[in-house]
Amino acid sequence: MIPVERIWNSAQLPTLPAVAVRLLEIVRDPESEIRDVVETIKLDPAISAKLVKAANASYFGVRSEVKAMDRAVSILGTTVATSLALSFSLTDESLQTGPKAEYYRNFWVHSVVQAATAELIGQKLEPAQRGEYFLTGLLLELGRLAMLKTIPNEYIPVLEEAKLPGTSLPELEEAKLGFTHVQIAQQMMTLWKLPEGIIHAAAFHHAPLDKVLELRTDPNTRLLGAMAFSAAAADYFCSANKGLALHSLREISTHCLGMTEDDLVIFLSSIEERCHQAAELFNVSISHLQSSSDLMIQANEQLVQLALREHVASTQASIRQHVAEQEKRELETRNRELQQQALHDPLTGVHNRKFFDEVLLREVHRCVRAAQPLAVIFIDVDHFKNVNDNFGHQFGDQVLKRVAQIFSETVRVADTLARFGGEEFVVLVSQPSEKGVERLAERIRENVEKEAFRFGSTPVKITVSVGAAIAIPRRGETGIGDRLIAVADECLYEAKRNGRNRTILRHVMDERDRQLQQLITQTRFSRWLVQQRLLDVPSISRVLLDCQTPHVQCGELAVRMGYLDIAELHSILKHQEVTGDRFCAVAVRLGLMTATETVFVLATQQEDPRTVMGALVRTGLLSPDAASGALEDYTRMIAPPAKHRVMAFA
């Protein structure tokens, strides 16, 4: 990157002679006359001589010889004469000798091709303005001249790299220098006070076609399209990227100039002829340029090569994408397999000990926070060693897989079943009640006992012993999970000592907590629905699996339901911080809530009646009216009356 100020501060920056500046002023003055142009040009004898010579050139096809400047301007017209005069003044800036002469010559040939092409298009689109088209085409690459003269050591390597196929000069300039010849040309044209149309056309002559087409409402839209075509034509005749230039010519000629493919071929031949005439006009040699027919062959060959490369690149990209997607799928499958292996027992397919320990830890934290019960069921296959010894380990594995399947079919979806080790399995019961855990444990035992196991044609009796434990964690209690497992394990071995194929349940709570939990269970909306014979136990059990009651603190719930006000809530919380007791116990001790109110609040906390009502309607077990009526009856019959204004029923 180099500072752009080096260009603007350089003494080598191209400038317009006084005659050219005066001519531009005359052109901008609508009241100027032809004699003003003539008198101004006469001030520069060199430009005057060149203009008379130009009037006699084959480029303009004048039949009789022109000797006087006045007649030359009269024949050419003021616009063409002014454009030529400006062009001749710039020619002197661009014709150089020495080691850099090649780059100046290439610049000028490029500019002449653009000017000749633009003038031909101007003849078709706006004949009266063909001189302006010619001048605009000639000035498009003005920025290249400025950069060659002011920063040659930095710019020539960029021009060399731009000769490689598939490269874009403006993109290289931006990357290597930090600015482009297009931007420099715009600034110079602005400083010279050239017409806005010329400056605007120069700004977009290298722009993508879609950008040019967006400017269709621009008053200079014809000039914009003509300059985009002229720039592509110059690349076609002068650069190494003939294939890409031909592609641009086809697109621009179709969308901007309304040409067919045949029209384009004929027009390119006309450009070739016009370029030779223009080169003669400016005394520039373009003999090294190939004919339009040879160029067409070469350009099409390049396009074929480009298409092949793009096809190969696209195919390779498609293959790489396919491989990447396949590898991604294989990786995802492998990750699922690894996750399955990490969390599941490979023999039985149920969860493993590691997964159970993680779930138990989360459930303990939840139950401690919400003061809700927690239950564990331990299961052990009776006399499993004898099964292995008598029938072999392969049959023993089949037994373990089948009993695990029975356990999976018996427990609820919300429960967590895992292989604890060997022939031992464990179940973490979701939202347990004492009776519910007892019934679940007994169903597990009965279902295994009813299963007909066979070794070949020999029936094999398989039974299990079951131990279960249930507890309500106290506030801040941390070791309840380990304690619960230990008690359930003790119950399991007690069942084995008492003859096996039996179930033993023990609650790990004091009698008051046990009675409270029973009251809460009896008060729940689902239990009331069964008692009222509105639903049976299997139906309401399925509904409860679809219910996720959001956790709400007891104090917040009591305020919502009208059993406490805010001041009473804060009083209970302060006492709770000191004693560490549960919220409802403190509320009853302070006389701010009755035992019946706390039971109803705790029942609602565990099972929100409105959530259950919504699930009943969704599953179609009750109509909306019946469900709403049941909730009203339940509230009237079970809920204690509120003492304060009810904010919202939870």
Give the model confidence (pLDDT) of 322-353 as tens digits.
778 887 888 887 777 777 677 899 999 999 99
DSSP-derived pairing of the beta strands 503-508 and 416-421: unpaired
**Fold that domain 353-509 belongs to in CATH:** Alpha-Beta Plaits (3.30.70)
Q: What is the pLDDT of residue 218?
A: 77
Fold classification of 5-289 is Hypothetical protein af1432 (1.10.3210)
DSSP 455: E
pLDDT at 85 over 80: no
Backbone angles phi, psi at 235, to 5 degrees: -65, -40
User: What is residue 357's predicted lDDT score, i.e. its pLDDT?
Assistant: 92
| pLDDT tens profile 237-284 | 888 778 888 888 888 888 888 889 888 888 888 888 888 877 777 777
Amino acid at 30: P
- Would you tell me how many other CB atoms lie within 10 Å of the CB of residue 321? 10
Residue 308 has pLDDT above 70, yes or no: no
Which residues in 31-61 are b (16+ Cβ under 10 Å) and which e? Answer: eeeeebbbebbeebeebbebbbebbeeebbe
Q: Compute the 3-state secondary structure of the chain and give helix, strand, coil in percent, each to the nearest 5.
A: 65, 5, 30
Tokens of 550: 């959001």
In this prediction, residue 474 carries a pLDDT of: 77
- Report how far residue 544's alpha carbon sits from residue 285's, in angstroms, rounded to the nearest whole number: 94
353-370 vs 480-497: helix crossing angle, rounded to 10: 120
- Indicate the length of the chain as a whole number: 650
Report whether pLDDT(475) > 80: no
The one-letter amino acid code at 106 reads N
Q: Where are the domains of the chain?
A: 5-289, 304-343, 353-509, 511-650
pTM, rounded to two decimals: 0.48
Amino acid identity, position 258: G
Backbone angles phi, psi at 215, to 5 degrees: -100, 25
Token readout for 524 is 């729940």
Per the CB < 8 A criterion, the answer to whether 645 and 563 are in contact is no
Between CA 295 and CA 236 the distance in angstroms is 8
For residue 463, the number of C-alpha atoms closer than 13 Å in the C-beta half-sphere is 14
